[in-house]
Structure 1
Amino acid sequence: MLLDRNFNVNTTVLTHASIDETAVRSIEQFIYREARLLDTWKFWEWDKLFTDDGMYWVPHKHNQANPFDHISLFWENRMLRETRIRRVENARNWSQQPQTQTAHLVGNVCIEGLDEDGFLVVSASFQATEWRLDQRQLAGRYTYKLAGNKVDGWKIKLKRVDLVNCNDVFANLEVFV
C-alpha cells in the first residue's frame, strides 16, 4: 500500500455531493471525536477510525500532488501507524518523558464533494497546541476521504494534513497531528 501508486490521493477532482443536515452533523461529530481521541492518547481507538487500507498523509510541501514524487512528513498505512503507536506508548520511550500533551481545535468543516471512487471528501481547518518541554502551535487544513454513512458510521480512507508551515524545519513530530 505504501508504494501503491494507484492509491487515489486526489481531493480536487470532485463531483457535487448532496448531503442532508443530519449527515453533515454526523460528519462533524466524527471529526470532533477523532480530535478528542488524539488529545486523550486513545491512539488505538483513533487507528480503528481508518479503513483497513486507509492512509495518513502529511505532505512536506504546499500543493503536493502525491506522496510518491516528493518526500512527505508522514505517509502511513495501518502497519506504520501501529508501529508509531507502540513506540510512542512505550514506557521506556525517553522522548515521551514527559508525555506530549495536545489540544486540537477543529472548525470550518466543509463537504467538498465526491471523488471519482465515490468517497466523500470533507475538509476542516485546525489548530493544534502541543506541549512536551515547550509549547508549539501547528495549524492547517485536514482533508478526509470518508467511507460509510450517517447510519453505519464513517471510516477514514485518507486523512491528509496540510500544515501551514509544512516545509519548515521541525523538531520531532511524535504524536499524530
Structure 2
Amino acid sequence: MIPTGLTSATIGHATPADAVRVRDSMVISAVSQFLFDEAALLDEWRLDEWLGLFHPDAVYLIPTPEDLSDDPATTLHLVHDSMNTLAGRVDRLKSKHAHAESPRSRTRRHITNVRVWQGPDGLETRSVFQVTRVRGGVVDRYAGVYEHLLVPTVDNDVPWLIKRRRVALDHSIESAGGQLSVLL
C-alpha cells in the first residue's frame, strides 16, 4: 500500500508530479537511518563503502547556489558526476597526491528534517544538512538541502541504492572557505 499525502504542487520542484508523501513512520525511520549511515561513511572517510551505496547509473549534482537549476547542460554546476567520474573523484581524494585533502579534513554531518515521497522511480527524499569541516585549524561550514532518489535493491544489508544525489547549497563556496574538496 502506498501512503497518501501531499502532491508535488504543495511541496515544490523536488518530487515528480505523481509522487505521494510517505507517512509510514517505519519507512521514514529506515530512510533516515540510511541517510545517517551514508553521512557516517563520509565522516569516517570510508569512501569505497560510500561509493558502494550508488546505483551504476547514478548521477551526483551540486548546482551553484546562485542558480539551482536541474539542467547541467544550460547552467553551471560545481559538480555533475556520473558513476565513473564520482569513482575517479573518490580515487583522487584517497590518493596521497590529493593536496587539498592531505592531511584529510575532519567532517561532521548533521542531517535533519527528513521527508520522503514515493515516486514512479523510487523514493524521493529531501533533508536539511550542515557539514562542519575542520582542516589546518580552520573551520568551514556548509548548509543546504540533500535530495536523493533511492531505488530498492535485493540486498538485505542495503535496502536502497542512490540513483541521484543532489546537494543544494544555501550559500556560495567562497563564504564557506572557498574549498569543495570534501564530498558534501
2:6 aligns to what?
Answer: none
Deviation at 1:95, TM superposition (A): 2.3
2:150 aligns to what?
Answer: 146
Whole-angstrom CA distance in 2 between matches of 1:111 and 1:32: 14
Q: Structure 1-normalised TM-score?
A: 0.84
Q: Would you say 1:50 and 2:54 are equivalent positions?
A: yes
Could you list the per-position Cα deviations for residues 57-105 of structure 1 after superposition, in whole angstroms to 9, with x for gaps in the alignment?
1011343132211110101111111111111111233322321110000
Q: Which ranges in structure 2 are unaligned for 5 or more consecutive residues? A: 1-12
Alpha-carbon contact 1:62-1:162 (below 8 Å) kept? no
1:127 aligns to what?
Answer: 130
Alpha-carbon contact 1:27-1:150 (below 8 Å) kept? no
How many residue pairs are counted as aligned between the two chains? Answer: 166
Q: Structure 2-normalised TM-score?
A: 0.81
Deviation at 1:17, TM superposition (A): 4.5
Residue pairs, 1:1-177, within 5 angstroms? 11-14=14-17, 15-18=19-22, 20-60=24-64, 61-114=66-119, 117-133=120-136, 134-148=138-152, 152=156, 153-166=159-172, 168=174, 171-177=178-184
Whole-angstrom CA distance in 2 between matches of 1:109 and 1:26: 11
Give the stretch that moved more between structures: 61-70 or 51-60: 61-70
SS at match of 1:141: strand
SS at match of 2:20: coil
Whole-angstrom CA distance in 2 between matches of 1:160 and 1:22: 24
Whole-angstrom CA distance in 1 between matches of 2:22 and 2:129: 24
- Percentage of identical aligned residues: 25
Deviation at 1:19, TM superposition (A): 5.3
Question: CA 1:168/1:23 → structure 2, altered by over 3 Å: closer, same or farther?
Answer: same
Give the stretch that moved more between structures: 93-102 or 147-156: 147-156
SS at match of 1:128: strand
Whole-angstrom CA distance in 2 between matches of 1:128 and 1:53: 26
Question: CA 1:138/1:123 → structure 2, altered by over 3 Å: closer, same or farther?
Answer: same
Deviation at 1:171, TM superposition (A): 2.3
Q: Which ranges in structure 1 are unaligned for 5 or more consecutive residues? A: 1-9
Give the stretch that moved more between structures: 26-35 or 80-89: 80-89
SS at match of 1:127: strand
Could you list the per-position Cα deviations for residues 9-37 of structure 1 after superposition, in whole angstroms to 9, with x for gaps in the alignment?
x7343321445222211101000000000
